[in-house]
Amino acid sequence: MSRLICIVPFCRRTRSADREPRYSEWCCPEHWRHVPQRLKLLRRRAHRYGRRRLDDMLWVRCKRAAIEAAGGIR
């Protein structure tokens, strides 16, 4: 049984990797709430319609927003 660590540096939250084996990264709810709603909506739509490349690009932007918010940059 392996664990996924939150993508934000120094965050100690984890979750089981067995629940979603296709994911290798995860953002905890505490940091995910700092991602702008519009960005989350765009990513959800891209994921739903099977736009893999767009979904991956938006995930990178979501990660950046969560990490910047946690670091106090935004």
Q: What pLDDT score does 34 carry?
A: 95
Q: What is the pTM of this model?
A: 0.86
Supply the DSSP string of 24-63, one letter for each residue. Answer: S-B--HHHHTTS-HHHHHHHHHHHHTT-HHHHHHHHHHHH
Domain count, the chain: 1
- Provide the mean pLDDT of the chain: 91
Q: What pLDDT score does 1 carry?
A: 65
Give the structural domain span for 31: 3-71
Res. 54: pLDDT tops 90: yes
Q: What is the mean pLDDT of residues 43-65?
A: 95
